């Protein structure tokens, strides 16, 4: 594998990162098990060696243990990598949102310690908090930037109006939202707005929570502690119906002698030069496979073929269950 991963700039901010980042959530949270710490540190080190310079975590993953893991693993590379983390949840046990300015500032202090850094490279609001005007949120991050505690401000899963209002107070460097071949909603309004404002886009779940790798089928079951067990789109009957997406990826992948996951990531990378997907993994071979996507060139004909074929497939099932869906604010 070519170890030199190309870099990309997130919007007009000049925040330069590897074209693929590493989502670290699954190492400590969300999938029912907490991965072995030594193995995860080795995985993160392998990512750095391979040219990854962009790592994604959040205080709520665990809570706290994922930031601690990322902080410990990346301590030897301080200043050479970009760490993104997030604020905005009440981590005291209630799964409520909390983006009050004083809370944002407390979170920043705690995250700096856990991440073992002097400054947070990219600080996202994890979910829009309808109880706090976005201007106050942006203002709090602006203060942190002035104090030298944060470099860049980001939003996650925010809609166009919120993005514009936040950006007017403190320029937004990146939006992190779900985007993949089977969740293309951002294409209608979000991507044109980001392009207009010069904001980078960081797609999470770029492999459809593992589905687009081609390693799941209608017989796949998830541990009850794995959040995917609650995702309607991943129920057995919907997995069967959605298999058409994977079949399409397999078809293109076979022709190019690569994997379906590599096609799914290469497709995303081909959409805009300021898109930086952050696939997560706990497996070394998957990390290497994902990074290989940066060497996959899709021709305009292949992109057209994927777009035409995928536009005819109707996705079955919501991307979140009822409770979580409420956290997605437009």
Question: Any idea which residues carry the catalytic annotation?
Answer: 61
Instruction: Report the alpha-carbon distance of residue 247 to residue 255 in Å, rounded.
Output: 13
What is the torsional sign of CA 318, 226, 154, 105?
A: positive
- Residue 136 has which token pair? 């106050």
Cβ(7)–Cβ(16) under 8 Å?
yes
Burial 200-210 (b: 16+ CB within 10 A, else e): bbbbbbbbbbb
DSSP string, 127-157: S--TTS-HHHHHHHHHHHHHTTSEEEEEEES
For residues 211 and 25, give the distance between their C-alpha atoms in angstroms, rounded to a whole number.
17
Distance separating alpha carbons of residues 292 and 285, to the nearest angstrom: 11
């Amino acid at each position: 594998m070519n170890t030199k991963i190309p870099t990309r700039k997130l919007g007009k901010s000049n925040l330069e990162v590897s074209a693929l980042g590493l989502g670290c959530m699954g190492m400590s949270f969300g999938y029912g098990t907490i991965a072995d710490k030594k193995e995860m540190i080795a995985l993160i080190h392998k990512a750095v060696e391979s040219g990854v310079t962009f790592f994604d975590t959040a205080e709520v993953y665990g809570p706290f243990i994922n930031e601690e893991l990322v902080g410990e693993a990346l301590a030897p590379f301080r200043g050479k990598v970009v760490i993104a983390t997030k604020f905005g949840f009440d981590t005291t046990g209630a799964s409520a949102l909390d983006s009050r300015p004083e809370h944002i500032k407390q979170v920043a202090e705690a995250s700096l310690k856990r991440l073992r850094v002097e400054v947070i490279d990219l600080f996202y609001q994890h979910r829009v908090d309808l109880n706090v005007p976005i201007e106050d949120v942006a203002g709090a991050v602006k203060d942190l930037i002035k104090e030298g505690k944060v470099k860049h401000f980001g939003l996650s899963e925010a809609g166009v109006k919120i993005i514009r209002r936040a950006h007017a107070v403190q320029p937004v460097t990146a939006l992190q939202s779900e985007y993949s071949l089977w969740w293309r909603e951002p294409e209608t309004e979000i991507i044109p707005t980001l392009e207009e404002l010069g904001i980078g886009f960081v797609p999470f779940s770029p492999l459809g929570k593992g589905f687009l790798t081609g390693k799941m089928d209608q017989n796949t079951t998830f541990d009850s502690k794995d959040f995917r067990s609650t995702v309607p789109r991943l129920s057995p009957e919907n997995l069967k119906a959605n298999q058409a997406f994977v079949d399409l990826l397999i078809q293109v992948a076979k022709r190019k002698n690569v994997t379906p996951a590599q096609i799914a990531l290469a497709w995303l990378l081909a959409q805009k030069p300021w898109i930086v997907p952050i696939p997560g993994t706990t497996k070394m071979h998957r990390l290497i496979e994902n990074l290989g996507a940066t060497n996959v060139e899709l021709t305009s004909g292949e992109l057209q073929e994927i777009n035409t074929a995928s536009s005819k497939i109707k996705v079955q099932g919501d991307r979140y269950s009822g409770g979580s869906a409420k956290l997605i604010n437009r």
